[in-house]
Structure 1
Amino acid sequence: MSFASITDFENALANLPPAEELASAAARARQAELTKPLGALGRLEDVAIFMASWQGRAVPRLKRARAAIFAGNHGFTVHGVSAYPAAVTAQMVANFAAGGAAINALAGVAGLELAVRSIDLDRPTADFTIAPAMTEEECLTALSIGAAAAEEDLDLLVVGEMGIGNSTAAAALSARSFGGAVRDWVGPGTGVDGEGIARKIATIDRALAFHAAAPDSAFETLRRLGGRELAAIAGAVLRARQLGVPVLLDGFISCAAIAPLVAQVPAFADHCLAGHCSAEPGHGLLLERMGLEPLLRLDMRLGEGSGAAVAANIVRAAVAAHSGMATFAEAAVSTAT
């Protein structure tokens, strides 16, 4: 599936399939029959029902799960917003390929197949303080690359990213999508100091001012203030919704990638779980605005899909308990009176 035009994207966003109510009801009924007090497994029960409702089956499965990691470079890094040079993006992609990154280890233990797609790393986006980050064609291409990572036979899609400077793009997307002071969305990212944070805020302020008169649509916000890896995440999550594949979001940057879509269609993230709340200050605020409660709070701030990969083990536990436990009748255990 590809987004050949802005109309394709807008139509997909305007026609989001809902969760399967019958599957959700059947999953809730099964939870009431399992050998435990109702609610005793807490959020694991909610996660199991969530998975059932979006997979469209009373007993969800987790046979095939994928971590899709997208990489891109940003033109605004010339303003000194990152502690690392842009060359690190390609170097880390090579590390992914060699199996030496955190996501390799974490995806392996979570039973996730790892798919890494770098997008024109030798051609950074335009500096968004003086031009849209991407042309319409570039944004559509990135959206389509992301969409290709969501396949119908997937039981769960984890999304992540790699891109030096992209916490700046994430803050800009969040600020334009949900408003508020820029400083509330900006954090240290890869570890910049106070002066670096001030440069990030100033860079985002200039970008927001430059694009202030632009159409206030998800597509325009994404192409003007995002990046190729962020647009790819948005495309992957949108395509997953079309296919009924539940999504596990990673940190601030992955969530910010879909912020413009949620701002336009508040129900867009209904098929998403927040894997964790990162240490990046804006992430908690963004999760609140998107109505998502994270599964984990581990003070992670690596990106790469790493926090979501850890949370995938929680989803596996929820599905395993839901599918593997005996009912009261099967176990010949008396129910509550």
Structure 2
Amino acid sequence: ADLPEHPALVRAAVRRGTHDLSVQAAMSLDEAQALILSGAALARRAIDDGADVLIPGEMGIGNTTPAAAITARLLNLDAAQVTGRGTGVDDARLAYKVTVIRAALERTPTTDPLEVLAQFGGFEIAAMLGVMLQAAAMRRAVILDGFVEGSAALIGVALAPHLRAYLFPAGQCAEIGHAAQLAHLHLTPMFHLNLRLGEGTGGVLAAPLLLGAAATLREMRTFAEAGVPGA
């Protein structure tokens, strides 16, 4: 649906939703690149306004399906190994979800990161990828929250390996594919709270931990600096 005008709302969608990934490419390469650039523009604006840490988040129903397809392809895993229940579907719907993702994976053999994004990704995944890449380019930290965000990070690190150094994972979420993403990226989550929502919620919880750690490194004296005897 069309959302009402709001000064904080940026309209970047190229159309109303992606195509059915099980039968055709979710979007064109041009559309994927346009959305990456839109995400990058948002990141630049936030950083220009003083942001030190960016927390990409997403909202949507069904977007663990494209995230699982991206994860399966880039990690060379079967769909069942990375496909979870999303909003809590029953066994029958989970089995169907795996079937849909397998159909998408069988439809195209591509392993090129941008092509994988265009074939399987959601618009929000492309936009979050742009946020992450721009943040790394401007040397800003990214708190990585959740499975859908993780799929964008997999593409980002495949395109620009230096991005990994700017990623700070929040919690390992309940989606089974998230652990595989973090292992592939060699990232250790800050907590295990079995969160499922995504949408940046875990990232917001992790922000005080990251900021506190940074303050400790920046401001806390060593024993020698503090004059502790015997240090």
Same fold (TM over 0.5): yes
Asked if the contact 1:266–1:290 (Cα under 8 Å) also holds between the matched residues in 2, the reply is: no
Evaluate the alpha carbon distance shift between residue 298 and residue 261 of structure 1 in structure 2; reply closer, same or farther with a 3 A threshold.
Answer: same
Asked if the contact 2:73–2:105 (Cα under 8 Å) also holds between the matched residues in 1, the reply is: yes
- 1:120-172 deviations in whole A, cap 9, x for unaligned? 39711111112211122211111011101223443111111112110001000
Structure whose CA Rg is larger = 1
- Which one of 43, 51, 57 corresponds to residue 150 of structure 1? 43
Asked if the contact 1:134–1:223 (Cα under 8 Å) also holds between the matched residues in 2, the reply is: yes
- 1:74-115 deviations in whole A, cap 9, x for unaligned? xxxxxxxxxxxxx7xx8xx99xx9xxxxxxxxxxxxxxxxx7
Evaluate the alpha carbon distance shift between residue 119 and residue 193 of structure 1 in structure 2; reply closer, same or farther with a 3 A threshold.
Answer: farther
Query: Which shifted more, 324-333 or 164-173?
Result: 324-333
The offset of 1:285, in angstroms, is 1.3
> Quick one: which amino acid aligns to residue 218 of structure 1?
P
**SS of residue matched to 1:161:** coil
**Map 1:85-124 → 2, pairs under 5 A:** 119-120=12-13, 123-124=16-17
Measure the CA separation in 2 of the matches of 1:122 and 1:164: 17
Asked if the contact 1:217–1:264 (Cα under 8 Å) also holds between the matched residues in 2, the reply is: no
- Which one of 149, 152, 170 corresponds to residue 275 of structure 1? 170
User: Alignment identity in percent?
Assistant: 37
Question: How many matched pairs?
Answer: 225
- Which one of 287, 308, 311 corresponds to residue 206 of structure 2? 311
- 1:230-286 deviations in whole A, cap 9, x for unaligned? 001111111111111111100011011121233455443221111110011110111
Query: Which shifted more, 226-235 or 116-125?
Result: 116-125
- Which one of 248, 255, 262 corresponds to residue 157 of structure 2? 262
- Which one of 128, 137, 145 corresponds to residue 242 of structure 1? 137
- 1:6-45 deviations in whole A, cap 9, x for unaligned? xxxxxxxxxxxxxxxxxxxxxxxxxxxxxxxxxxxxxxxx
Alignment of 1:165 onto 2:62: yes
Please name the residue that 1:189 is paired with. Answer: 86
Asked if the contact 2:13–2:35 (Cα under 8 Å) also holds between the matched residues in 1, the reply is: no
Evaluate the alpha carbon distance shift between residue 118 and residue 292 of structure 1 in structure 2; reply closer, same or farther with a 3 A threshold.
Answer: farther
**SS of residue matched to 2:80:** helix
Please name the residue that 1:137 is paired with. Answer: 30
The offset of 1:118, in angstroms, is 6.0
Evaluate the alpha carbon distance shift between residue 117 and residue 326 of structure 1 in structure 2; reply closer, same or farther with a 3 A threshold.
Answer: same
- 1:207-227 deviations in whole A, cap 9, x for unaligned? 111122x4x211111111101
Query: Which shifted more, 127-136 or 243-252?
Result: 127-136
**SS of residue matched to 1:125:** coil
- Which one of 119, 125, 131 corresponds to residue 230 of structure 1? 125
**SS of residue matched to 1:268:** helix
Measure the CA separation in 2 of the matches of 1:178 and 1:116: 34
The offset of 1:330, in angstroms, is 4.9
Measure the CA separation in 2 of the matches of 1:326 and 1:261: 36
The offset of 1:175, in angstroms, is 0.6
Over the aligned positions, Cα root-mean-square deviation in angstroms equals: 2.3
> Quick one: which amino acid aligns to residue 233 of structure 1?
M
Please name the residue that 1:127 is paired with. Answer: 20
